[in-house]
Amino acid sequence: MKGKILSVTVAIMAWFGAVFFVNAYQIDCPQKINVKEEVENMPDGWEFSDDINSLTVSFSSMIVYYDNPSRMGALKPAKGTVDGKKHELIWEVNHYTDVEPYYVVCSYNVRRIELIKKIDLSMKSCWADYSKNEQGKKGTLTCSTSEAKNLH
């Protein structure tokens, strides 16, 4: 009998842990990335300057897209609340009302370099937080299974 109670208790704790884990999550844009340039099919008579072939670029901004970013469906952020907390940059990403997934794009300060990550399909709203530290600008997209309210 004690074994059954212990098993049920562990199962309930695991379920609560899973529910709270899926409720919200964060996507942190890398603050700095190293880029190595390579030129393919070099035209005759041209050379590549190898003193700039390795470059470190810093994070600049985040954009949320409906569907693959190559289709250019950037979403406009709004002000509003999620779970009673005010946010300046909120996007609705409710996959259940839309067909395609959503993506976050982290942009970097030179040469239009972007990193792309799909947003979990269970999320309904996301908001951006920007901060600075000794390495520079930092961007975090926090997403929740709660819907955004009071959007304007």
The per-residue pLDDT for range 99-146, each reduced to its tens digit, is 788 999 998 886 678 889 999 888 988 999 999 988 889 999 999 888
Mean of all residue pLDDT scores within the chain: 77
Q: Is 51 helix (H, G, I), strand (E, B) or coil?
A: helix
Q: Give the three-state DSSP class for 146.
A: coil
Q: DSSP letters along 35-50, please?
A: EE----SPPTT----G
Q: What is the CA radius of gyration of the chain?
A: 21
Give the pLDDT band (50/70/90) at residue 49. Answer: low
Query: Do 119 and 125 meet the contact criterion of CB atoms below 8 Å apart?
Result: no
pLDDT in tens, 29-45: 888 888 777 767 777 77
pLDDT value at position 94?
A: 81
pTM score above 0.75: no
pLDDT tens-digit profile of 70-101? 888 888 988 988 888 888 898 888 866 667 88
